[in-house]
Amino acid sequence: MSLPQILFYLLGAVILAATLLAVTRRQPVHAVIYLVVSFFATALLFALLGAPLPAVLQVMIPAGAVMALFLFILMLLGRVELPADESGVRVWMGPAVLALIAAMAGLSLLLLHGQTPNLPMAKAQPAELGRFVYQNYWPAVEAVSLLFFVALAGALFLVKDSASAQDEEHPL
């Protein structure tokens, strides 16, 4: 088995494990951290397959902007107290180990990049990709932007209700 095949299966295992752990976490912040690890491993998988544009977009959009928005909404909703068994260093070992495995795969990919001229995926140009997406899938793009707006408005509505309830309990 060659090194690219090993990296492919390793990154696939990291993506699968991180996504399953994100779905099964009780604390939303823990789930977001596992999801970010999954997104970064997916970006490395795109890079391994010779598609740098989707790799960069994967880091910028889901792992960067969307997860920052999720964390912002979680912080707006208020701090959730962690039970005693979920507040230690042990809880963060899972995402740290998965992120370390993905980082080592990424380092191997960087070292390997000059040695593999035959990458399986064609390199997409940003202008071609943008033209294709906005000509063929513009309703989906608009629907996603509308969903993000509704999610943000719902989070602000929840925060407003909890803030007004706290003001009624503790007037100045």
Q: Provide block-wise average pLDDT over 10 residues at a time, the chain (172 residues).
A: 84 90 82 86 86 81 76 68 58 77 77 55 64 82 82 75 58 55
pLDDT score recorded for residue 120:
46
Q: Residues, the chain, total?
A: 172
What's the token pair of residue 1? 């088995």
pLDDT of residue 31: 81
- 74: number of Cβ within 10 Å: 17
User: In this predicted structure, what is the pLDDT of residue 170?
Assistant: 57
Q: Where are the alpha helices (DSSP H) in the chain?
A: 3-24, 28-48, 52-58, 67-77, 93-112, 126-136, 138-169
